[in-house]
């Protein structure tokens, strides 16, 4: 069975068990708070959101629907995870199609841990000469972070946990859960 929910607020995704970490109601509050800050900072502007696929599709969707400012949305696809580990090898699978020279860009990411994926994207964006680039992420693993860029809109700082749900996955599975679950270490 790929995914299942048991009666103790645990889920099984592939061969691992995860326990409840954050309920969808709290997730919604966090996303609303980020949207409120972006509305203030980008009043009168039309930023282009670049969601990083696959994980950030839910966060990006929820975030832009809560905004009052006009915006545009596009996606780029980078990959760095294999199983439970983040690799230092980043693969860009789908690139930019929009003209971004002189545009205000907001990168939307589900989770920032090492920071390698966003560092690669920031490096790629330089050649297009955007007016500005900001970063909005739902989760930030400060303990794992190994880059030096600034996260402008951080929803939640979490310890170095492996989490699934709300777009976050384990080998492609578990993204669809509305709550966030952490790896249940008692089953490892």
Residues 120, 80: Cα–Cα separation, whole Å? 11
Helix H or strand E segment including 23? none
Mind giving me the DSSP string for 69-102? Answer: S--EEEEEEEEEEETTEEEEEEEEEE---S--TT
User: Of 62, 113, 169, 179, which residue is the catalytic one?
Assistant: 113
Residues 136, 151: Cα–Cα separation, whole Å? 6
For this structure, is 148 an active site residue? no
Q: Which residues are catalytic?
A: 113
């Amino acid at each position: 069975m790929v995914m299942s929910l048991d009666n103790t607020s645990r889920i099984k995704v592939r061969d691992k068990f995860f326990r409840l970490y954050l309920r969808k109601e709290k997730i919604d509050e966090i996303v609303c708070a980020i949207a409120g800050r972006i509305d203030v900072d980008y009043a009168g502007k039309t930023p282009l959101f670049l969601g990083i696929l696959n994980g950030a599709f839910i966060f990006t969707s929820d975030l832009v629907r809560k905004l009052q400012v006009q915006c545009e949305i596009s996606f780029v696809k980078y990959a760095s995870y294999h199983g439970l580990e983040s690799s230092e090898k980043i693969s860009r699978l789908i690139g930019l199609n929009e003209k971004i020279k002189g545009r205000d860009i907001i990168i939307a990411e589900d989770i920032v841990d090492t920071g390698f994926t966003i560092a690669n994207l920031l490096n790629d964006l330089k050649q297009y000469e955007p007016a500005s680039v900001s970063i909005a992420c739902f989760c930030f693993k400060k303990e794992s972070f190994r880059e030096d860029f600034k996260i402008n809109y951080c929803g939640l700082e979490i310890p170095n946990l492996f989490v699934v749900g709300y777009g976050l996955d384990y080998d492609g599975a578990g993204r669809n859960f509305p709550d966030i679950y952490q790896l249940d270490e008692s089953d490892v």
